Structures are given as structure tokens and as C-alpha cells.
Structure 1
Amino acid sequence: MARPNDDVAALLQEYADLVQISGGDAFKARAYEKAARAIGGHHTDVSTLDARALRDIPNVGRSIADKVAAYLTTGTMPEVEQARARIPDGVRRLMAIPTLGPKKALTLYETLGISSVPALREAIEAERLRDLKGFGPKTEENILHGIDVLQASGGRVRLAQAAETAEAVVAALTAIDGCERCTWAGSLRRMRETVGDLDILVAARRSAPFMDALTRLPHVAETLAHGTKKTSVRTTDGLQIDLRVVPPGSWGAALIYFTGSKAHNIRIRERAVRHKLKLSEYGLFHTETGRKIAARTEEDVYRRLGLPWIPPTLREDRGEVAAALRGELPVTVTDADIRGDLHTHTDLTDGLASLEDMVDAAARRGLEYYAVTDHAPDLVMQRMTDEKALAQRDAVRALDGRHRGMRLLHGTELNIDPDGGVDWDAEFLAGFDVCVASVHSHFRQSRDALTRRLVRACENPHVHIIGHPTTRILGKREPVDADLDAVFAAAARTGTALEINSHPNRLDLNDENILRAKRHGVKFAIDTDAHSVRDLEYHRFGVGTAQRGWLTTDDVINTWPLPRLLRHLDGTGTTR
């Protein structure tokens, strides 16, 4: 159930890809790519805008605005339909493979007749690509890696897409008469980075109105099952939604049961058995008498099992039950604990909104401090210069105080070069309030080289945060192959924070790496890496990931009051 903005953005991006495949004007393709990004990141629902208002969105010119306005009225964009007709379906399927560009996809189709992922893998294994111009063993290796990344996603959707759909479904079902409670459960409630099926739970005395309503929701493509206890549908974007309606008196037990994880549920059911009890989605029962002991709230059920309430993000059977029994469950960081954002961008580089718009949006979110960290000059396509950075610093200083209670910080996102160096010399870097350093290139260096590269960046006295440390992009790029324990040890030794990048395409570091890094004594920064006003909403996904890594406010530097944060930035670690 995508936003209209996302639908339009996907359509414009598809058209840009089709233009590239057909060998069309590269400038035209780039214009549509920019418009797709701008509309996807725009905070206003584009279906409420006319062509004139659409032109006010950066990178959306008159021609594209007119096409979008017509699409929102008619549901079609003739230019895209015509381009689709010229490009075989098989080529578009191949383009889903990370590392395989549109022109190579077209070459494979026209030369070898390859129109599916299995056929491509078979052709590579038979070494049929090696005689094609522009292909070779290294290209084959990259394509195979891309196929593995694509297939590893297993049809799962990213956290933000699942959350957006779940919020729409819950809002619709909550409005139905007789609904006493409604929420999502499953892996979304546990804030896993991807979601297979969406579990929705309703507490009501009659199930039929809710089961019927689910099948009639917008963007439901097909009904997979329709019953009194469970109904399943699939949306137009391929996400399966499973709805269960339970009696209000069983709400807590059902919420535990359907939140999972399977391993956590087995663990607490084993505990129930040891106490001669039986736990199901309907309640906690005495085994011999069948008498219901607890069911109405999660807290009641956990308490009768001798446990405190365990947050959903911890229910992965990673020792949370044992920690609860010892009274050692962490009080994990929450959205309300986030005081600031230390990694954001504006339209000075690759952001979509102006400095003023980003600052105003941060103030509306109630942040106490906010850092602008546009890209540094070694990322050449962003065209940053010393003069632009200094001019932006003046603009940030002038805006500081515009919103009472929010301090503005001027920073930069540096590029970690292949040897571990960064843009600008020490004297210039000393003028920034905060420096994020990230790997943006040379992702396939050797393990030793990547490890040295990241460790050296941690040891730079002007680097405060390592941005998206493993560089992964979900479904598109695997994490770099580095000795992360060595990197975590270096970060802990130098006091360099490691980022939990909240963008749902990244969620980097992930929960397992956070747990490992925490054992080394690392501090973290939960940042949005926002490139638009809308991206500032992504903090909640980073917080959920941090919770899964058992982090507390003491672990996360942007939950600290400003004076403590500034002391940390000014004199971090033993090597600074």
C-alpha cells in the first residue's frame, strides 16, 4: 500500500531505466532519476497537488510535472507504456539484479536470448558470456554475486514498507464498530530489518466484519484465505497480510504468541510446562484443570510465568529470558530518548531540501541539536569545495537560534579513501563541529585492506563517527568483508562512535553487529542520514535496530544532553 509519492517515484525511475536500456538521451534519463528521488522524498502527498504545485518540487520541471499530473488523473503515463512496449519483459527482470546495468541486460537478451535469472546463472556457469564485449570473468563474478544478493532477499520487504502498510491496515480496521484493540505483531513488531508476512491482530467479539473489510482494502490484489479465525490477502506490491481476530480476553496471550519469535515462544512455553501450565494464543492455562490463569495482557502472562514484561524487540531467544530471570534486562533506548541527529544532508550536495527546510523540519520534531553533514569534496560528483563548506558554515551559524531549544552543528560526511585517509587536512577539519567518515567506494578491497582502512579512520582524531560502517544496502549490496571485531576494538579504544544508520535501505550497523560491538565497549550514534524532510522520520527504525542490539541511552551519544555530547566530540578517546 505505497504512498502516491512512492508509486510516482517508481514509475519515473522505471522510465529513466527504460531510456537508458534503449540507448536514449542520458541527460533525459538523469532528469527523470532526479525527479523520481525528489518526489519520493517529498513530504506532501503528490496526489493532492496540481501541475503548478508539482513544479515547486526541486528537480521537477514543467514537462515531468504535466506527465505526473496526468498520471494521477488517468492512472497511466503513455511515455512509460510506449517504452515498456519497446523493451522485452525479460530485460526488465534482469535489471533487478544488483551490479547488472540496463545496457548489459539488453546485450544479454539480444545476443544470447537470456530473459530470466536462472537462465543467466546457467549461461555464466557454462562460460557463454566471456565472448561478449564488455564481459569477462570479473563481470561474471560480479553478476553472480548480484544474483545471490537478489535471491537472499527471499521476497521479503523492507521494514519501512511493511510499517507503512501496517499503519494503513490498522487505521482502517480500528475504525470498524466492535474493534476493541488492533495492532501489528510478528517480525514487524520485533523490528526486524525485513518482513516476510505482515501479521495483524484484532480483539473483537465478532470476526466477520474485520475479515470482510480486509479483503476490500485498497491495493489488495487477491484473497488467499477467508475464514472466521484467519484471513490472508496479498497486496499489489506482493506483501502477504494475515489477519487474526481473537476474543478481547485473550488479547495479551495472542499478542505474545503472534509476535514471536518462534524460538522465544518455545523458550517461554518450556517454562510454562515446568510450572505445569500450558501457553497458547488463547491464554495461560493450568494443565490438569484447564483453568485459565492469565490472558488479557502480555504483562499478566509474563508475570504468571515469573518474568517481567520482555520488550518485543528482544524476543529473539538471545538470552532475554535468562536475563529477565536475573533482573538484568536492559532498559533499551526509545524514540523519546533521541535528542539530536548527527548525520543529515541538504541540497548543497545530494539532499533534496534546503538548509532552512531541513532545520525547520528538525525543529518540528523537537530535536535539541541537529547537525548538517553534507558530503566532502572527494566524492567528486557532489561538487563540494572549501568555499562552499565555509559558506554553509556561515549559514548554519546564522540560523542557529532560529528555533529556541535547538542547537545547530556544522559538520561534514567525509570519504574514507582506499588507504583510510579522509578529505581535507587537520586544520580544515578542526573547524567542523562533527565529522562523520564513511566508505563510499572500493568496496571490494581485500579483507586486510578494508580492515586497515576502517581502523585508520577510527584513529583519525577529527573523525567522530563512522557512517554506515559495513556499507551494505539491503537487497542490493552486501556488507564489506572486513574484520569487524578489529574495527570494533579500534572504535572502542579511540572513542569513535559507530553509526546505526536508520535509513530502511541500510539499517547499518545491524542488530547482530551492534551486539558484538557493544561487547567491545563501543558507543553508537543513531542517525537518519536524511536526504529529505521525510527521511527525518526514519529515526524510529534505527531505534528499533538499536533495541534489538540491547542498547541503552548510555550507549548512544545522541541521547546525551548537549553539554555531554560536546565534551565527547571535543575530546574523544585516548588517541585524540
Structure 2
Amino acid sequence: MARANDEVAALFQEYADLISITGGDAFRARVYEKAARAIGGHHADVSTLDLKGLQEIPGVGKSTAEKIVEYLGTGSVAAVEKLRAKIPAGVRRLTAIPSLGPKKALVLYQELGISSVDELADAIHEQKLRDLKGFGPRTEEKLLHGIDLLRSAGDRVLVDVAADLAESVVDALSEASGVLRCAYAGSLRRGRETIGDIDVLVAARTPGPVMKAFTELPYVTEVIAHGDKKTSVRTDRGLNVDLRVVPKDSWGAALLYFTGSKAHNIRIRERAVHQKLKLSEYGLFDTETGERIVSCTEEDVYARLGLPWIAPPLREDRGEIEAGLEGTLPELVTEADLRGDLHTHTDLTDGLASLEDMVAAAAGRGYAYYAITDHAPDLSMQRMTKERMLAQRAQVRELRPPRGMRLLHGVELNIGPEGGVDWPDDFLADFDVCVASIHSHFDQSRDALTRRLVRACENPCVNVIGHPTTRLIGRRSGIDADLDEVFAACARTGTALEINAHPDRLDLNDEHILRAKRHGVRFAVDSHAHAVPHLAHMRYGVATAQRGWLTKDDVINTWTLTRLRRFLRKGRA
């Protein structure tokens, strides 16, 4: 389940929002925002720390630490409950709309009584906002776009939230009486970026004990349906979980069936029909005799249908059946293939952990190399200077990480409105790796955004375009650029595109990866870690790369350091 750190971080972010919405002290709101980030990114479980230990977390003072202790002991914080009582729950929901901050949400509530997303949409269509200070036609347009974005996410959650819950369920049920096998299936097994509900499959001798154990899990808040074959529950994480129990000898067919996708399953069943077979969750059957032919493993089912086993991330009916028949399915990149991470931050800029802590954690993951890429000066809030960056480089060069891991000193550059970056080529030439990303001016024209990215690719010092579309899942759409032109520029200039593994980005997404690969682009799967726990996000970046049909040869940070360095020289002498 979710770490206590994540629960406390979410509570303090809510507290900060409530302070802002109720017109409280802005400095106090920022204190709790920073505390939320620090706690969420802290490596140690806050539930194991005493008051003194909590105060050692950067940004956590005595008052904040006392609130953590209060929450861990009682499940609530009196100060937060007091503010919650002042504002309808829907008002804070308004702040989830991209471009609508707490102050404007408060104005909408005070002036128009708006306390829900639907009420806001109606008010915009009725042009009720135009008489409010700071709300014009352009604001209305942005808010409507933000509402559409929010609604498109629906009740879906980010993949890391779903994975955390699914793995807890699987771990718990694997210990239940009579359980022989247990795994999650569905869109989560296929590595989708957002998840609507979780499908868990169990092979058991009898369903009763496992169904009972399932309904008694501590995070189950409601039993929606209860049966011998399927039980559905609602959880306190905002996700429904469906449990299906099958006999042991039906495991393979059931796992294939409940993994999906629907489109993939239709194609598989069509092949079965052409061979006078019938496929269900219980097996592959002869339609004339009713005899079950195979069912124990997915490999058995695929093989009987004349196909090799198809990895779950590929099961979207995007050519995997044809590739299987032709023997051209890719050998997908895996997390074990990664030799390093090329985009990470420390507390020198907006990270939460020291250089030493980040390096030690990276070494613990068994990497052969690891890049530190703190922000350059164009993001003024980071207060970066040449002197500070050079001081960090000296520190990097002096460090001797364990297990012989090589440290790379890099930088994350800001791609300016015209496509320029923070520092001149003569200074950038001494970095081991340069990631360049767009951080502002998202609303430029399509032509301007395209030129901006192409110019960054053409910079001889830029090695990787970071989070290329800038999207934040459910919060910000990707920029409107001609991505095919950008992909062609990357292939032409030897610039890699990042697959940002942070669960709220996963940028590029799988469809963009498929297109970019056709242009001959190389990729870097990076954690974009700002804290030690973020290094583990690589699994989601790899799953996205797999959905984009990438092999390890497509991903530059699976290469040896020698081959990687050749690529990073980008044709320079």
C-alpha cells in the first residue's frame, strides 16, 4: 500500500491548498507545500521516526513534525479538519483544474457560489465569469480546456498508485489458504499509463477462503459483489479491485483472457474460430467435441494458435499478431538492461536529496554509470551560476561511488522561447551529458514550438530532449508541435528523446515512441528523480518503452559507457 510518507505528503499538500483557498498566509502555505515535497521524497518511512527524527527531514520544523505524529497516531490532524469544515469539498476539487489556482477558486466560491467542476462549466457557458476581475474570454477558454482534461482522466489513477495497491493485494492473497498462484492482470499488466480498476487473478483449490481473505483486506471499504468466481470491492485508494478465482489448470487461459486488451483478445479468438476452436478464460476448446486442448500456460495457448508468446505491453492490436506470425516480434528492453540514469537532480537545485545520497542510491541499483543533471540558470528560481555548477563538478569528480560506478556530470538546460539554451557552447562542451527541456511558454504557435525544439536538437551540445511534450497526465496537455518534424531532427542530429519515467509524465508516451522509432530516433529512459525513492520510477519508463516496441539497442542508457560516450559526443571532435 501507499507509504506513510505519501499519505502525509498528500495531507500537507491539501493543507497548503486549504490555507490558500481560505485566504491564509501565503508563506505558511508554501511552508507546507515544501514539507509535502520533502516528506514524499524522503527515503526513510516517517512512521518509523520520532519527533526528533522527523525534524531532521529538510523543511520539517517542530510544528510540522507534531502534525505528522498526530496524523500517524489518530488518522487526522485537527488543524486540517478545521479548514476542511470551512470550505465545501468541491472547491478544492476545482484547484485540480489546470490553470485554476487556489486564489481564483476562492473568488469563484465567494462571488458565484461555485463549488464543483460541473457548476464552473455551466457558469462559463453562461458567461457568468466575465464580470469577475482576472477572468476574461481567454481565461474561460483555458478553464474549459482544463475541465476537459480533468474529465478525460475520469476515475482513472496514475500507474504507480495502481501498482502499489495491486502488489499489496497480490502479496496478501498469495498467503491465503489454498492459493496456488496469484497475479494482477488487465491494463496494469499491459503497462498502461493510467488505470481505471485493478484485475487480480488467483488459481486456488477452493474459492471460499481466498474470497473471504480478499473482502477482509484492511483497505477494502465496500464489497460491491461477492461470488465464488468473482468478487469486486471498493478501496480507500479510490480504485475498485476485481478478484477472479479459477482452477489451477485454467491459469494460462485466464491470465491471457483477463490481461486483454479487448482488441487483442478479439484477434486471438478470431484465430481460434478459424481453426474450429473456442477460447475462453477456462481454456482453448475443440468446438465440435468440447474437449479442452490447452489452458495451463499462456505460452501453450499462443503456441496452439500458431503464435509465439506475446509480451503483455504489446497486446493492443497494433501489429503484434502479424509480427508474431512473421517472427519479427521485438525482444523488448527490460529494467535489467538499464546500465544507468541520465536525468536526475539533487538539492543543489530542486531536488530533495544530497549528491552523496543520490549517488549511493544509484549505486545500490547496480548502475554502471549515473548522471547528475541539475538545472541551469534560465530557471531563475534555482539560483544556478557557473560557479555553483563548477563547484558541483569538482565534488562529482572527487566522489568515489561504490561498485565502480562512473559518475557523469551533466545539466538540464532550459529551451528558451526561440530554441536557445542557458549557456554557450564553449561552457557546455565540458559537461558529460546535456539534457534540454521546455519549462515555459507552452502556448506558442505550432510552428514556433516546432522550430524551438528543432533548434535545440541542432545544438551540438544537446544530447537528450527531456520530457519532450511537457505533458503532466491529467493536469497539462502536451505542447502543440509537429512531432514528426522534431523526430526527424532528432534522427538527423543524433539527439536522443527522453522517455521520462516519472508516473505523472511518462513523456514520450507509447504512441509517440512508435512514431519516433520509425524515424530512426534513439531514446533515453530516465527517472527524472528529485529524491531517492524516485529512482525506482524507472520501471514505469521501461513499461512505456516496451509499449513502444523498443529493444535495448534503441535505448542509449542500456549501452556500455564507451558506446554511450561516442553517442554523447554528437559528432564533435
- TM-score normalised by length of structure 2: 0.99
- Matches for 1:99-114 after TM superposition, within 5 Å: 99-114=99-114
**For the Cα contact (< 8 Å) 1:43–1:533, is it kept in 2?**
yes
* Counterpart code for 2:321: V
Task: State the partner residue of 1:537.
Answer: 536
d(CA) in 1 for partners of 2:43, 2:410: 24
Pair 1:133-2:133 in alignment: yes
* Counterpart code for 1:297: T
**For the Cα contact (< 8 Å) 2:224–2:234, is it kept in 1?**
yes
d(CA) in 2 for partners of 1:495, 1:147: 38
**For the Cα contact (< 8 Å) 1:220–1:233, is it kept in 2?**
yes
Task: State the partner residue of 1:150.
Answer: 150
* Counterpart code for 2:195: V
- Matches for 1:30-69 after TM superposition, within 5 Å: 30-69=30-69
Q: Please give the per-residue CA displacement for 1:209-251, whole angstroms capped at 9, x wherever unaligned.
A: 1111111112211111010000001111210100001000000
d(CA) in 1 for partners of 2:89, 2:318: 44
Task: State the partner residue of 2:410.
Answer: 411
Q: Please give the per-residue CA displacement for 1:150-178, whole angstroms capped at 9, x wherever unaligned.
A: 00102101110000001100000001121
Task: State the partner residue of 1:273.
Answer: 273
Task: State the partner residue of 1:6.
Answer: 6
Deviation of 1:55 after TM superposition, in Å, equals 1.1
d(CA) in 2 for partners of 1:528, 1:2: 19
d(CA) in 2 for partners of 1:88, 1:223: 28
Deviation of 1:464 after TM superposition, in Å, equals 0.1
d(CA) in 1 for partners of 2:72, 2:344: 31
Task: State the partner residue of 2:90.
Answer: 90
What CA RMSD, in Å, does the superposition of the two structures yield over aligned residues? 1.0
Deviation of 1:63 after TM superposition, in Å, equals 1.3
* Counterpart code for 1:193: E
Task: State the partner residue of 1:367.
Answer: 367
d(CA) in 1 for partners of 2:319, 2:201: 27
Pair 1:484-2:478 in alignment: no
Q: Equivalent residue of 2:201, what SS?
A: strand
* Counterpart code for 1:499: E
User: After the TM superposition, which of the residue ranges 351-360 and 213-222 deviates more from structure 2?
Assistant: 213-222
d(CA) in 2 for partners of 1:180, 1:355: 45
Pair 1:495-2:494 in alignment: yes
**For the Cα contact (< 8 Å) 1:90–1:109, is it kept in 2?**
no
Pair 1:211-2:181 in alignment: no
d(CA) in 2 for partners of 1:111, 1:70: 35
d(CA) in 1 for partners of 2:124, 2:194: 30
- Matches for 1:23-422 after TM superposition, within 5 Å: 23-399=23-399, 401-422=400-421
Deviation of 1:74 after TM superposition, in Å, equals 1.5
d(CA) in 1 for partners of 2:404, 2:208: 50
d(CA) in 2 for partners of 1:46, 1:232: 32
**For the Cα contact (< 8 Å) 2:373–2:412, is it kept in 1?**
yes
Deviation of 1:35 after TM superposition, in Å, equals 0.7
Deviation of 1:88 after TM superposition, in Å, equals 2.9
Task: State the partner residue of 2:519.
Answer: 520
d(CA) in 2 for partners of 1:393, 1:406: 16
Task: State the partner residue of 2:564.
Answer: 565
**For the Cα contact (< 8 Å) 1:470–1:508, is it kept in 2?**
yes
d(CA) in 2 for partners of 1:39, 1:56: 11
Task: State the partner residue of 1:428.
Answer: 427
d(CA) in 1 for partners of 2:112, 2:467: 39
* Counterpart code for 1:190: R
Task: State the partner residue of 2:465.
Answer: 466
- For structure 2, list consecutive stretches of 5 or more residues without a partner in the other structure: none
**For the Cα contact (< 8 Å) 2:495–2:570, is it kept in 1?**
no
* Counterpart code for 2:304: R
d(CA) in 2 for partners of 1:303, 1:75: 52
Q: Please give the per-residue CA displacement for 1:171-219, whole angstroms capped at 9, x wherever unaligned.
A: 0000112111100000000000001110000011111111111111122
Q: Equivalent residue of 2:67, what SS?
A: helix
Deviation of 1:28 after TM superposition, in Å, equals 1.0
Deviation of 1:354 after TM superposition, in Å, equals 0.3
d(CA) in 2 for partners of 1:206, 1:44: 40
**For the Cα contact (< 8 Å) 2:90–2:117, is it kept in 1?**
no
**For the Cα contact (< 8 Å) 2:494–2:570, is it kept in 1?**
no
Task: State the partner residue of 2:454.
Answer: 455
* Counterpart code for 1:299: E
Q: Please give the per-residue CA displacement for 1:394-421, whole angstroms capped at 9, x wherever unaligned.
A: 010011x332321000000000000000
Q: Equivalent residue of 1:475, what SS?
A: coil
Q: Please give the per-residue CA displacement for 1:525-551, whole angstroms capped at 9, x wherever unaligned.
A: 000000000000010100000000000
Seq. identity, %: 70
Deviation of 1:59 after TM superposition, in Å, equals 1.2
Deviation of 1:116 after TM superposition, in Å, equals 1.5
Deviation of 1:125 after TM superposition, in Å, equals 1.2
Q: Equivalent residue of 2:131, what SS?
A: coil
d(CA) in 2 for partners of 1:22, 1:270: 59
**For the Cα contact (< 8 Å) 2:185–2:258, is it kept in 1?**
yes
User: After the TM superposition, which of the residue ranges 115-124 and 560-569 deviates more from structure 2?
Assistant: 115-124
d(CA) in 2 for partners of 1:207, 1:107: 54
Task: State the partner residue of 1:506.
Answer: 505
d(CA) in 2 for partners of 1:569, 1:288: 61
**For the Cα contact (< 8 Å) 1:526–1:558, is it kept in 2?**
yes
Q: Please give the per-residue CA displacement for 1:301-334, whole angstroms capped at 9, x wherever unaligned.
A: 1111111100001000001011000000000100
Task: State the partner residue of 1:547.
Answer: 546
Deviation of 1:27 after TM superposition, in Å, equals 1.3
Deviation of 1:571 after TM superposition, in Å, equals 3.1
Q: Equivalent residue of 1:86, what SS?
A: coil
- For structure 1, list consecutive stretches of 5 or more residues without a partner in the other structure: none
Q: Equivalent residue of 1:462, what SS?
A: coil
d(CA) in 1 for partners of 2:555, 2:70: 47
Q: Equivalent residue of 1:243, what SS?
A: strand
d(CA) in 2 for partners of 1:445, 1:198: 39
* Counterpart code for 1:248: K
**For the Cα contact (< 8 Å) 1:202–1:246, is it kept in 2?**
yes
Q: Equivalent residue of 2:371, what SS?
A: strand
d(CA) in 1 for partners of 2:246, 2:163: 22
Deviation of 1:109 after TM superposition, in Å, equals 1.0
d(CA) in 2 for partners of 1:207, 1:467: 48
Q: Please give the per-residue CA displacement for 1:399-457, whole angstroms capped at 9, x wherever unaligned.
A: 1x332321000000000000000001111111110000000000111101000000000
d(CA) in 1 for partners of 2:330, 2:155: 33
d(CA) in 2 for partners of 1:114, 1:402: 55
User: After the TM superposition, which of the residue ranges 210-219 and 502-511 deviates more from structure 2?
Assistant: 210-219
**For the Cα contact (< 8 Å) 1:414–1:436, is it kept in 2?**
yes
Q: Equivalent residue of 1:180, what SS?
A: strand
Q: Equivalent residue of 1:404, what SS?
A: helix
Q: Please give the per-residue CA displacement for 1:266-317, whole angstroms capped at 9, x wherever unaligned.
A: 0011001111111100001111111111100111111111111000010000
User: After the TM superposition, which of the residue ranges 164-173 and 58-67 deviates more from structure 2?
Assistant: 58-67
Which 4+ residue blocks in structure 1 deviate beyond 4 angstroms?
none
Deviation of 1:38 after TM superposition, in Å, equals 1.0
